[in-house]
Structure 1
Amino acid sequence: MPVKFEIYRNGARLTAFEPVAAMAIGPESVPVPGEILFRDGLLIVNRKDDHAVGIALLWDVGPLGSFILETTRLQPREKPYVLNVELARFRLMKIVQKQEDWNLFDFPKFEKFLQKLHEGQMLFAETLGKLHDPAVAAGLADRALEMAIDLSEQLATFHTDLLLNRRKQTNGFVKHVFGCRIDPQVNNERYREMVATQFDYAVVPMSWKEVQPQEQSFNPAPVDEWVEFLSKRRVPTIAGPLVRLDSQNVPDWMVIWEHDFDMLREMAYDYVQKMVTRYRKAVAVWNVVAGIQSNTAFSLSFEQIIELTRLLVSQVKTLLPGARTLVTITHPFGEYHARGRGGAPAGVPPMLYAEMLANAGIAFEAFGLEIELGVPTTGNFNRDLFQMSCALDKFATLGKPVFITAIGVPGRHNADPGDVTGGRLNPDQAGRWHRPWDPQLQAEWMDAVYQMALSKPFVEAIAWNNLTDVKPSLPGGGLLDDMLQPKAAFTKLQQLREKFRPPPVQVPTAHGAPAQPATPPTPPPLPRK
């Protein structure tokens, strides 16, 4: 039996509704396969079993924004649920859970939030008393949900301030916090100078598809130039991800090995060996694999995903025993897991993959994490600040630091013909955070999300996903415009760098006067082959 919902807007039941980014939700808010359709005035979730299931979808919360929101898990029954009511129920429940997880009760300033929560709960109680009149109940639930969304973002900010102050007092920040992912194909002097002088480190992608476009062709020249430049300028480098199994990064010639895991493993092993050997003296951190758990280009089993991760990390460690390595999680909300073929789940839920890696004895040093929001593709619809804080919290128990190796949102609310998709993605169709995206809102989002992320003691560094609006991965997603002029987000990033810059370490001389630390030696030139 399916789970069914009625939907109300402005006191009237909807007879036509297009569910956007809708997916079935299982335990622990993990998306699961399921058929979502609107038929005969009902939103229906069809599953092959009769287990309790929720639904998540893009939902408009008025002035606060439009986000992917979810319901609690519900038992199938003949009578339809009211979607408005169940969305409010879940958010209020999540607030209660997180205020306990965050241990907020001991802070006097928390009283005002408790009062707001009480008001929301009383309004929801009134909602439950009106379920015999679904239209009235839905109107009350909409008000309760709006209060809950507003309160949850305020709580996320309050918790951020508490942890940031604590981390500052203990000097809990590393030296290199703020980075940027560069485009190796860009060869522009101003672009390079901005990277060298305005960031703590650089992320240099090493796309397998671009470096090895043909099986017997190896073309690392653009990467060579960037790695050598950064090495000469003593800019720390995160290299990779080396292997990302998606259509944008897997070489076209690999398609013939789509169902041959042994050959995929051999080819990936050979590629990683070449790259690590070539840049072994110039790279600070190796991002070995990214998004392998989402299974977008190859149909790998759970065991094969873990085996391939273990093999490639071990290979880097064999070549460079002292290297720092990352394994990167993409799409941390796991939407891809609900998009499998024939009703089967796709890939592995992100946190299950992370937990398995953390407990499997694989010798990597940290998790990487990619968060790109604001475009209408699976995994990239808008989320609010509270949801993002909750998602990061899941890494707290895994015992490893987190590097956010790519993060970003659009800087415009309409399609960008100059982005990597050629203008196929319209941010206006992916929801909004308070208001439609523009350069100023992009900077405000950066400020809120960077501080929230850095309040987590396990988050070590953050890199923005696009330096410029020259072929960005998100519409208007760069820190600089297409003429390489600073945007509001670039200015905000420099303010954050100044705010979180660790105090200089003073080394006393023999006479007691502080001396500047010694200048580090110039890294050796890039090895040539």
Structure 2
Amino acid sequence: MMSPFTARGELVFKPYIVQSGRRPHLLDWAYASDPNWDAFHSNITAGDHGVKISDTEGKERFGIDVRWNVEGFGYIFLTADNGGEYYTLPPSGKTETLNLNYELARSRVARNRRRMTLHAKSGWQPSREARKFIDLSEEYINDATTHQADGMKCGEHAQQALLYSMWASEKIELEKAEHDIRQRGPRSDFFVGCDARAYFQMDVEKFLDLFPQLFQYATITHYLVSGVFEDFEAIEGKKQFDLRTALFKQLKARNITVEGRPLWWSYKTTTPEWLRKKSFDQIKLYLEDHVRKVVGHYGEGMYAWEVVNEFHDWANECQLNPEQTVELTKLACDVARDTSPKVHRLINNCCPFAEFVQLKKWTDLDAKYPQRTPWQFMKDLTDAGVDYTITGQQMYFPYRDLADTILLFERLSVFGRPVQLTEVGASSGPTLESINSGKLLISNEPYIWHRPWDEELQADWMEGLYTLAYSKPYIEAVNWYDFVDPFSWIANGGILRSPKGETKAVFDRFKTMQERWNKLPKH
């Protein structure tokens, strides 16, 4: 529904279907983002008619974010931002139509130019391969510009420009990351981590043999209601420490740094009914006591505690308003600091590109209050003086390319705290077992990224993500989720194929990646 106060004319992005393979080529919903790349709610729609927007709810300049099939690269989310200048709505009563293919392509080509200029200042130069992709994208966008009067012809050239510019983007960012890593040498302040719940899901001795081969950092979950292994507090006041304490001791005995998580996560599957029924004042009393007991149980043995998880207007089963979420986070951080001052306090956010803002959802619930992106939530916490010490961001494969991912990393650095990529993961694709069980089937849609998921592609994405993170001094850890299938959050996203301990390609890639880093000359 349009607001009479914010509605303007209509801006239409017309898609030209030049793809030859199976549909869909354009997802049936989209969202808008502001010049800071924060998603905001609008009346944007997407479908066979194209992408239409006429009410940005007061935002003057904006980009559009659509999932578009770039054959030869992937069916992936992309941002069109008018070549970095952003769009404005036409005057009321007017309609302006743009070529979607062309807008996506010229926006990415322009961004690549800006990134090339930025990276060149530190002495980086593109490889011959990257330069070829860059040159091809420039040639095709010039051809598309020449043929703007012919929508289909322009769309065909623009689609080729987009294809080569997408490959160029990832080449640019990965090559720059490798350049920076070589310049700085090996890092002793970087954790390669993973959640340790597989301790409860497979043979303990096999876990304790394989896990330390890859990881120096582990997280131990304390979900009130788990559904995966032992609940931590299904009945109020009856906390189950024993198994988690045993795991904690085993990890510490192997010199693995340990993080506890989470002290607060009001997600649909982890929130017991007794907690949902509490008033806000009752929640505060419970959380203060909970934090003191849980943090105090481990004392200074934990490196960090994840204080709140997904509290940026996503996991909100208690239906708190934005001010209450900040107040509760501040309370939990203060109590955690007072209980164990030397232990870090981490804020963990999900949904890095915040598509949920357009959908107006708290997971499955309809959101009652205006929603914030993870970045906006962190700014609110910072402005309110919340005493957190680590900025955390999940990065399960986000239906975005690696070049978009590094831009999001860079935004997180502004808060002046170390950053952790708290939960990351990607699938290794369907197996006979996942097909027979119905957990992960063979997709009938175009592939998402590079090709259909398989074990080597999972390893490629992992290595690309960890390489980008390792190149940024402010990122101190990246934690893979999860260790073993079929228990991984992402279907077939584990490092082991089964509790029997068969390793995937990603296991070997974790090893060789770290060996390569450790052999770098020290500066």
Q: Is TM (by shorter chain) over 0.5?
A: yes
Q: Is 2:159 the counterpart of 1:178?
A: no
Q: Which of 266, 275, 283 is matched with 1:254 structurally?
A: 275
Q: Is the Cα contact below 8 Å between 1:32 and 1:345 reproduced in 2?
A: no
- Residue 204 of structure 1 pairs with residue 220 of structure 2: yes
Which residue of structure 2 lines up, in the alignment, with residue 43 of structure 1? Answer: 51
Matches within 5 A, 1:151-190: 151-168=168-185, 171-174=186-189, 177-183=191-197, 185-186=200-201, 188-189=203-204, 190=206
The answer as to 2:473 corresponding to 1:457 is: yes
Change (3 A) 1:38 1:495: closer
Of the three residues 311, 320, 324, the one matched with 2:340 is 320
- The residue correspondences of 1:100-179 to structure 2 (distance < 5 A) are 100-104=117-121, 106-107=123-124, 109=126, 117=134, 119-168=136-185, 171-174=186-189, 177-179=191-193
Where does 1:154-303 land on structure 2 (aligned, <5 Å)?
154-168=171-185, 171-174=186-189, 177-183=191-197, 185-186=200-201, 188-189=203-204, 190-209=206-225, 210-257=231-278, 260-297=279-316, 298-303=318-323
Secondary structure of 1:274's partner? helix
**1:415 positional shift:** 9.9
**TM-score, normalised by the number of residues in structure 1:** 0.83
Q: In the alignment, is residue 64 of structure 1 matched against residue 78 of structure 2? A: no
What's 2:42 paired with?
34
- d(CA) in 2 for partners of 1:197 and 1:112? 34
- One of 340, 350, 365 as aligned partner of 1:330: 350
Provide closer, same or farther for how the CA distance between residues 131 and 338 of structure 1 changes in structure 2, counting only shifts above 3 A: same
Give, in whole Å, the separation in 2 of the partners of 1:430 and 1:185: 37
C-alpha separation in 2, matches of 1:478 and 1:358: 34
Distance 1:110 1:474 in 2: 34
- Amino-acid identity (%): 21
In the alignment, the residues of structure 2 paired with residue 139 and residue 37 of structure 1 have an alpha-carbon distance, to the nearest angstrom, of 23
Counterpart selection for 1:365 from 389, 409, 415: 389
Aligned counterparts of 1:502 and 1:236: Cα–Cα separation in 2:
22
Q: Does 1:74 align with 2:87?
A: yes
Q: How has the CA–CA distance of structure 1 residues 499 and 416 changed in structure 2, closer, same or farther, with 3 Å as cutoff?
A: same
Instruction: Give the CA deviation at 1:318.
Output: 0.2
What is the Cα deviation at residue 423 of structure 1? 2.0
For 2:268, what is the secondary structure of its paired residue?
coil
1:350 aligns with 374
Aligned to 1:376: none
Q: What is the letter of the counterpart of residue 19 of structure 1?
A: L
CA–CA distance in structure 2, aligned partners of residues 384 and 504 of structure 1:
30
**1:16 deviation in Å?**
9.2
Check conservation: 1:5, 1:42, Cα contact below 8 A.
yes
CA distance in 1, matches of 2:250, 2:352: 33
Is structure 2 residue 502 aligned with structure 1 residue 485?
yes
Following superposition, the deviation at residue 465 of structure 1 comes to 0.9
**Inter-CA distance 108–227: structure 2 relative to 1 (3 Å threshold):** closer
User: Alpha carbons of 1:221 and 1:60: their partners in 2 closer, same or farther (altered >3 Å)?
Assistant: same
Q: Return the letter of the residue paired with 1:212.
A: E
**1:220 Cα shift?**
3.0
State the shift of 1:303 in Å. 2.5
Give 1:455 deviation, angstroms.
0.6
1:433 aligns with one of 449, 457, 482: 449
- Change in Cα spacing, 1:275 to 1:426, as seen in structure 2 (3 Å) is farther
Aligned residue in 2 for 1:527: none
- Are 2:10 and 2:96, in contact at CA under 8 Å, matched by a contact in 1? no
**Residues 261-296 of structure 1 deviation map (CA, whole Å, 9 limit, x = unaligned):** 323333222222221121225322222222211333
TM-aligned CA deviation for residue 159 of structure 1: 0.9
Which of 469, 473, 484 is matched with 2:489 structurally? 473
Q: Any unmatched runs of 5+ in structure 1?
A: 374-379, 506-529
Question: Within 2, Cα distance between the matches of 1:416 and 1:282?
Answer: 40
What is the deviation of 1:343? 9.3
Partners of 1:40 and 1:56 lie apart in 2 by 16
Deviation of the 1:330 alpha carbon: 1.8
Q: Judging changes above 3 Å, is the alpha-carbon distance between structure 1 residues 383 and 18 closer, same or farther for their aligned structure 2 residues?
A: closer
- The CA deviation at 1:256 is 1.9
Whole-Å Cα distance in 2 between the matches of residues 273 and 502 of structure 1? 43
State the 1:493 CA deviation.
0.7
Q: Deviations over 1:73-124 (max 9, x none)?
A: 4333413222111111221232233234434474455798567545534532
Does the CA-based 8 Å contact 1:407-1:464 persist in structure 2? yes
Residue 381 of structure 2 aligns with an amino acid whose one-letter code is L
**How far apart, in 2, do the equivalents of 1:18 and 1:136 lie?**
19
**CA separation in 2, counterparts of 1:16 and 1:438?**
21
Q: Which digits, 9 at most, give the CA deviation of each residue in 1:359-386, with x for residues without a partner?
A: 544333222221112xxxxxx4x21111
Structure 2 distance, partners of 1:105, 1:441, is 30
Alpha-carbon deviation of 1:346? 5.2
- Asked if the contact 2:304–2:346 (Cα under 8 Å) also holds between the matched residues in 1, the reply is yes
In 1: Cα distance, 2:447 partner to 2:23 partner: 22
Query: Which residue number in structure 2 is paired with residue 9 of structure 1?
Result: 17
Deviates more, 1:359-368 or 1:321-330: 359-368
Q: For 2:214 and 2:139, how far apart are their aligned partners in 1?
A: 50
Q: Which amino acid aligns with 1:24?
A: A
Answer yes or no: is the 8 Å Cα contact 1:208–1:243 preserved in 2. Answer: no
Deviation, structure 1 residue 503: 9.3
Q: Which runs of 5+ in 2 are unaligned?
A: 1-8, 226-230
The two structures have a TM-score, normalised by structure 2, of 0.84
Deviation at 1:39, TM superposition (A): 6.2
Q: 1:280 is paired with a residue of what secondary structure?
A: helix
What secondary structure is seen at the aligned counterpart in 2 of 1:485? Answer: coil
